[in-house]
Amino acid sequence: MTTVKVVAGQSILEGYVRKPSAGLAELIWNAFDEDAKLVTVTCEYNDLQGLEEIVVADNGNGMNQERAEKAFSRVGDSWKLTPGTRSPNGSRTVHGRYGRGRYAAFSLGNLVRWESTAERVEGGLGTVRVSGRKSSLDSFEIEVGDAVADQTGTQVSIGQASPEAVKAFNDAQELRKAILGEFALHLDRYKDFSIRFLGVDIDPASVEEDRAVIALADPDGWQGEATLTVIEWKLQDVKRSMFLCDQDDRVVDEVETRIQAPGAEFTAYLKWDGFADNDPVGLEDDTDTPRGRLIAAAREALREYLAERLRVREAATLQRWHEEGVWPYKEEPATAIEAATRDTFKVVALAASRTVDETKSSQSKALALRLLKETFESDPESLLPILTDVARLPKSRIEELAELLKHTTLTQLIQAGHEVGSRLDFLSGLNTILFDRQIKRRLLERRQLHRILAHETWIFGEEWGLTGDDERLTKVLKKFLGKLGKDVELADLKEVRLEDGSDAIPDLVLGRQLETNADSFEQLVVELKRPKHRLDDDDISQLRSYASAIVNDEAFAQPNVKWEFWLVGNETTRTVDEQRNQQHLPFGVIQDTPYRIVVKQWSEIISAAEHRMKFIQNSLQYETTHDSGLASLRKKYARFLPEEALAAAGPDVA
């Protein structure tokens, strides 16, 4: 093993450590420069689903011992330094130049290991392993051995992931879009190069909506030809970057577009042979330089292009909405003020058009636009603060609408409209499959009804969230102990069983955490029965056995823990009804201590859910039917429905 020292200070080297997206891109560029045909980015997770390792692997040329020792002992001295240098096989113009890209890997984690198989100087394949730590960027350990693979290539493994990297990979879509934007031109130009990110190929063509190439010429402003390529994406929240490229599409820098264009998702590529990647930062603002004048001209051309695209897109979108009958304005404006209001609303609606059109349902689109219109007209300033917290509209989009809105988020409004319509349709469809004569006889509680309700737990009350689905009670108890934060060794926790020794398997476990002066915790266990079954005393006994198994376990003898157990079905026997109607307890509660047992009929649960949504339903004039409700269930949960519910004919409701 050899240790090489870099002739540079730690503080200087730390300056080469960039943000995670840039660090990942640099590793991919390194693979591209080594003629790799495929670069894969994968993640390894530990038993607790924590990010254990990030791996970037390629099938490029790799590096031998001589190249490794030279590359990792120097900064700024690279074989790529000369402009126009091509990759070893001569087919590609290389991206890097300054021999410092390896430090970008430390933006992803504290420990980085390179394992590279390449042709040895003396012939044959050999493998070089290089390891480094962020705490000592001026020192790398190099180990040489026999080849571990039968082909060349490099694998970079990053451990001890940084908090920024963990966050980036948790929101992998943003990272994917960043890679897509930076490599779009190269993936299009070099057909023998591909990137596979977390199991899915980066394919710009599949999400590209439109592309335009704009020629820029001004002999007095800059020398030589320049072109601006604009790619519009079928995506949300794309970072609006302008990449500065040389004539070989090699990215040398990235600048802000500073463009306001509601509804547009794009990336721009400004190509000019005069760009150099060692230009000082901020030159795009200096219109006294050729670089600054060109960037200013490119921004103006981009602004004009997007404005025209906006007019075309607005006309097409409005025409489609009119044809679908979802546009909320049915009559022509009667006054100039009404016309101006509608023109302003068009800009707002267009900014949200991608979200509106995510659903193919005309009812949902109409609901979303009507909700947006009512909020816009009744209290337009209430739309401005929501935008500051919007998740799907980035800061740049919020700033674009700042002159129109003062406090709101379009996405949340539209999502609320979608949610309302979806829930109303679900209630109607659920009512149908529970009480239709043909369907309810074949509906099974575990494989069908249970699976559907696992995705719609709001029906039991807005406060409940799903914490476990059809798991052994033992696992539920382990999860619950974890939520309590109690110091309990789960590995030593004995399995909790019923008195007869059998495992307890509840259908749904829902939970919420309440914080008062001292934390208190509530757990809800829901036991579902198939619609054709009438709830009887044996069912109550079964549920009581679940409760006893939990409450009598010493691990759960906590004063701040409350348990509630529900038994749910279509009908109840007379003896059960007598227990549900006790003078000293709320209706449905048959036991209140040391835990609460409640027996509910589906009609009561559905009625309560409908009542919670009645005001919104009336305000939005949203109508649903048994047919539309059942159609909604078929669309979302076809795999869980019996054949009778999938039949094309309308339901025979009892």
- Tokens for 20? 């995670």
Q: Which residue has the higher pLDDT, 411 or 355?
A: 355
Q: What pLDDT does 21 receive?
A: 87
Answer whether 455's CB lies under 8 Å from 469's CB: no
Tell me the three state secondary structure of residue 158.
strand
What are the extents of the domains in the chain? 2-197, 204-287, 325-408, 436-610
pLDDT of 153 over the 60 cut? yes
Q: What pLDDT does 300 receive?
A: 92
- Its CATH architecture, for the domain 2-197, is 2-Layer Sandwich (3.30)
- Tokens for 654? 């009892």
Q: What is the pLDDT of residues 283-329, one digit of tens each?
A: 556 667 888 899 999 999 999 999 888 888 888 888 999 899 999 98
Buried b (16+ CB within 10 A) or exposed e, 111-124: bbbbbbbbeeeeee
**Percentage of the residues of the chain whose pLDDT score is greater than 70:** 65
Question: What is the Cα–Cα distance from 535 to 601, expressed in whole angstroms?
Answer: 9
Specify the pTM: 0.52
Residue 186 is which amino acid? Answer: H
Average pLDDT of the chain is: 75
The domain over range 436-610 is classified in CATH as 3.40.1350.10:
yes
Q: What pLDDT does 442 receive?
A: 59
Answer whether 438's CB lies under 8 Å from 532's CB: no
- Chain centre to alpha carbon of residue 22: 20
CA end-to-end span of the chain: 80
Answer whether 4's CB lies under 8 Å from 160's CB: no
Q: What pLDDT does 384 receive?
A: 45
Tell me the three state secondary structure of residue 630.
helix
Q: What is the pLDDT of residues 580-608, one digit of tens each?
A: 999 889 999 999 988 899 999 988 988 88
Number of other residues whose CB lies within 10 A of the CB of residue 197 = 19
Highest mean pLDDT among 227-236, 270-279, 439-448: 227-236
Q: Which residue has the higher pLDDT, 633 or 313?
A: 313
Question: What is the Cα–Cα distance from 363 to 465, expressed in whole angstroms?
Answer: 28
Mean pLDDT of 347-369: 78
Highest mean pLDDT among 158-167, 390-399, 537-546, 623-632: 158-167
Q: What pLDDT does 464 receive?
A: 63
Closest CA to 651 of 482, 442, 351: 442
- Tokens for 411? 């996405």
Q: What pLDDT does 366 receive?
A: 87
Q: What pLDDT does 620 receive?
A: 47
pLDDT confidence of 127, banded at 50, 70, 90?
very high
Question: What is the Cα–Cα distance from 526 to 464, expressed in whole angstroms?
Answer: 11
Q: What pLDDT does 418 receive?
A: 52
Task: Pick the range with the lowest mean pLDDT from 16-20, 192-196, 410-414.
Answer: 410-414
Q: What is the pLDDT of residues 495-514, one digit of tens each?
A: 555 556 665 555 555 555 44
Q: What is the pLDDT of residues 156-191, one digit of tens each?
A: 999 999 999 999 898 888 899 989 998 998 898 889
